[in-house]
Amino acid sequence: MLAALYGIGGAGASHSGWHEWLAARVHGEIVDATGVAVRMAPMDADVALLAIEAARRAVLDHVGVGSVTTVPLRDATGRVLARPVVNDVDYPPFDKAMMDGYAVRAADVATACAAAPAMLRVVGQVGAGHDAAGHVGLGEAVQINTGAPVPPGADAVVPVENTELSADGSAVAVSVAVPAGKHIDARAKYVAAGSAVLSPGVRMAAGQIAAAAAAGAATVSVYARPRVAYLVTGDELVDVSERPRGPQIRNSNGPMLSSLICQAGGEPIDLGVVGDDRAALADRVREGLTADVLCISGGISMGAFDFVPEVLESCGVRTVFRKVAIKPGKPVLFGVCENGARVFGLPGNPSSGFVCFWLLVRPVLAALLGLGDQVPIPRTARLAGTCGANGNRQSYAPALLRTDEDGASVAERLDWHGSGDPFGLSRANAFIVRRPDALAAASGDCVAIIPLESL
């Protein structure tokens, strides 16, 4: 269905056909079927627009897994395992009672019933955390609590509700038969010593924390959070706490980028706001290049004060691409520094910056975190409302994704005034994705969507 939505053929359209459809020219060179440009484009090149899949593949070709660090288990929530967690003891480490009642020999109660209960002599008592008391012999029983070790000789537990203790506590009547092994978890039933209980690539949450604790992992090896520096450019920007005057606007991109970085598992490094000044910008860029990833908001288009591309070049950053065929977000730059830092020049309009971060930066952070290929995969939903005919770039429109009474996914296109509108994103939990030159879509038509789910 997605093949038809994207206009690459019918039901038999292949994945390779999708990439062939995405082929684009970068400075006179073909982007091949894998989506990677044959060579880099210089900073001042008048490059053709690069398809988003080709751009993303070019980005990921410059990313490997990140560094590994060790953290206390209590601090591991949300982190991604880099090395397996291995259990150090059998679990359970003994034959464990799973009910309050009496540890018995199954043979002694094989014919027990309410009309003819089996009478057993009580020879001891054992609670959780204590060693098993004595040995259960023929016609004997030991009172036992949930979690306690089953004493030698016993091979089953009778629940207390199926018993009646004598007045002096010396004997118990068992009114139900139980087979051997009943209500007992045998030693190593869950996990044997030396077994891996958690594998690399697992994101740690409450269940994984519990498993690691049971396995004796006081510390765990995880992928380090990628350090992501972000810098916002423009003379027009004032702090969120200030009231804009005249041609000023508040800096919404800085807080937005910080939030996006945190949601993607990165460690945000705020480089602040720098005006339209080459020297000041170069100083801040050099600082940012010490991080794993540098995101620069604004200053990358074709205006007289868009200094970012030339400043990056002067700081040793090699451009991989500079324009992508998406809307919003066409003027997006990706480059790599000699020290390995990855650099993104994001559009200054907030919606454009959001889309470019989601499509291009998030997959980089996922790779550095050891999560592998986390490229957003479109799925389908029924359109509520209408979409006009699309232009020559793949478009991403904020949408509210919901489930109707029949359980079907419905995407409602939200009221949104374009790339400069930061408010249209506030209700969105998905993008409606439309291929270049797509025809108008009516209510009820199938459309491609990408949910804005957190990693």
d(CA 60, CA 272): 27
- Of the candidates 346, 368, 390, which is a domain's last residue? 368
- pLDDT tens digits, one per residue of 230-243: 999 998 889 889 99
Reading the block at residue 208, the tokens are 């994984």
Contacts of 118 (CB under 8 A, 6+ apart): 108, 109, 111, 112, 173, 174
205 shares a domain with 80: yes
Residue 8 lies in a domain: no
390 shares a domain with 316: no
104 shares a domain with 160: yes
Task: Compute CA distances 421 → 32, 119, 182, 269, 410, whole Å.
Answer: 35, 80, 65, 25, 24
268 shares a domain with 159: no
- What domain range includes position 289? 40-66+225-368
47 shares a domain with 83: no
Domain tally, the chain = 4
- Of the candidates 368, 398, 417, which is a domain's last residue? 368
**pLDDT for residue 49:** 86
443 shares a domain with 402: yes
- Of the candidates 342, 368, 394, which is a domain's last residue? 368
Backbone angles phi, psi at 357, to 5 degrees: -60, -45
Model confidence, pTM: 0.78
249 shares a domain with 346: yes
50 shares a domain with 80: no
- pLDDT tens digits, one per residue of 177-198: 999 999 999 999 999 999 999 9
356 shares a domain with 241: yes
Q: Which residues of the chain have pLDDT under 50?
A: 1, 3-4, 6-46, 455
**pLDDT for residue 175:** 97
288 shares a domain with 156: no
Give the 3-state secondary structure of 47-105: CCCECHHHHHHHHHCCCCCCCEEEEEHHHCCCCEECCCEECCCCECCCCEECCCEEEEC
